[in-house]
Amino acid sequence: MLFFQLFQQLAEQKAPVKVELKNDIAISGQLQSVDQYLNVKLANVSIDNPDKFPHLVSLRNCFIRGSVVRYIHLLPTAVNVEKLEDDCRREAKIERTNRKAATA
């Protein structure tokens, strides 16, 4: 849930991202939206290797299914790493507490 919220915030900011797919296609663009399955919608799309994938050069907007995504590369300035680490620790602590309460 934590990363979904992070990507939603980035979508609100129209952050530039690079999405690397499992079939080795890399697509750069502005993050428009993301859903709970981490499906992403990009605008102002460009293909990183147009010589290898000329049929994708004409794309301007695209929807990418979350299950075909290998990586989503973000700008280092787009993420507050310290806040993300703190939120991860807090979420893990809550999970441990809930697990202990369920077994008791």
Q: How far apart are CA 65 and CA 28, in angstroms?
A: 15
Tens of pLDDT along the chain (104 residues)? 678 888 999 999 999 999 999 999 999 999 999 999 999 999 999 998 889 988 888 989 999 999 999 999 998 888 888 888 898 899 889 888 888 888 76
Range of the domain at 25: 2-76
81 assigned to some structural domain: no
Number of domains forming the structure of the chain: 1
Residue 11 lies in a domain: yes
Residue 99 included in any domain: no
**Is there a domain that residue 20 lies in?**
yes
Rounded to whole angstroms, how far apart are CA atoms 5 and 80? Answer: 13
Q: Is residue 88 part of a domain?
A: no
* Token pair for 25: 């296609």
CATH number at residue 24: 2.30.30.100
Give domain status of residue 100, yes or no: no
